[in-house]
Amino acid sequence: MKFIVNSTTLLKQLSSIDGVTVSKPIIPILNNFLFDIKDGNLSISATDLETTMTTNIKVDAKEDISIAIPSRTTLDLLKTLADQPLAFSINLEKGSVEIKYDQGRFKLSAQNGDEFPKNPTVEGGKKFTMPAKVLQKAIAKTVFATSADELRLNLTGVYVQLFNDSITFVATDANRLVRYARTDVNPGVEESFILPKKALNLLKSTLPSDDTEVTIEYNRQNAYFNFGEVSLICRLIDEKYPDYNAVIPQENPNRLVMDRVEFSMSVRRISITSNKTTHQIRLKLAGSELTISAEDIDFENEAQEKLKCQYDGEDLEIGFNSKYLNEMLVALDSPEVKLEMSQPNRAGVLSPLVADEHESILMLVMPMMLNSY
């Protein structure tokens, strides 16, 4: 059985789904791409059993066939080839695939596609749509704040709340929290589920930055995303998400307004001298001046900067993890941000000074206990 496909097109499609594969899979066949041809349409899938991605290409083929071919070797070959047609010859009896190109040929071992895990389906699910750039932005604003602690599985993903006329994304690792809401997405139902981090990062890197409609279908076990020629299906995290609203402080009388880039760059510079384990920096607010400082007693390193700011509140000293604070500042895209606080032992609430239309974003970062210098 033979088919012909363009090398550049194939490389682009395989690269878009390659992030699903893992270096040491549970079963060896997961080191392969599934090539499934029906009626001249080549459907290529990759899976780790939790997440599956599929992409489609039109090819010149006269027969239908299903074969699993090595993912890493195939990609390594395609990355070295100039733009040209490739002729694939498949021999299921011998378990091999031969790839012919202008200068030569590659012969690889292959497996019958029937041995590849079947793609999961979303039966009895509900669905809604949203623009790709909106979903991509929602993921970028939240996924960085998820936890890496597998003992707290519910915090390793992003919590999605659907309402009739809005959608909310929430992420927390217990040290920081991000809540991102959109009022221009209308799911038409009231539901919630937790999406795993890996699937979200794959979506973030694959989604187009335009108004392409993404169809999102879900049931109690899986969520399915379809856009253009690509689809992703992932298993939902079957855990209960904590009541995140309970930890957001409502009374924050001390309000700092700063240029976001200036604030972020200062935090980055000062954090160079912070303790490499705690990443602690100190913010001292008095009048219209913000002093940012850090020290590492073990290496006798210290730094301090004074910045002009808009501050309304009582004089205050508070400590934060510079890594967490700066990741939040980078994730925001407004020219100015506001940091609202109440006491040195209560969380700080970071948000844009002026929110974009149809969206609201709130970021919370827990304080660190300060030692007196």
Map out the domains of the chain with their CATH numbers.
2-115 (3.10.150.10), 126-245 (3.10.150.10), 248-365 (3.10.150.10)
Helix H or strand E encompassing 289: strand 289-296
Residue 373: what pLDDT?
47
How do residues 156-212 score in pLDDT, each as one tens digit? 999 999 999 999 999 999 999 999 999 999 999 999 999 999 999 999 999 999 999
31/101 Cα distance (integer angstroms): 24
What pLDDT digit, counting tens, does each position of 90-142 carry?
Answer: 998 899 999 999 999 999 999 999 999 998 888 888 999 999 999 999 999 99
**DSSP 3-state helix, strand, coil percentages of the chain (rounded to 5)?**
25, 45, 35
Residue 149's pLDDT band (cuts 50, 70, 90): very high
Which two tokens mark 61? 């083929």
Could you tell me which residue, 297 or 363, shows the higher pLDDT? 363
208 and 230 Cβ atoms separated by less than 8 Å: no
In the predicted structure, residue 38 carries a pLDDT above the cut 70: yes
pLDDT at 372: 60
- Report percent pLDDT > 90 for the chain: 90
The answer to whether residue 81 scores a pLDDT higher than 50 is: yes
For the whole prediction, is pTM greater than 0.85?
yes
Pairing verdict, β 254-259 and 176-182: unpaired
89 close to 2: Cβ distance less than 8 angstroms: yes
CA atoms within 13 Å, Cβ hemisphere of 331: 26
Report the distance separating Cα 249 and Cα 287, nearest Å. 23
Buried/exposed 311-327: b ≥16 CB within 10 Å, e otherwise = beeeebebbbbbbbbbb
What digits encode the pLDDT tens for the residues 247-263? 999 999 999 999 999 99
Neighbour order of strands in the sheet with 301-308: 301-308, 289-296, 280-286, 316-321
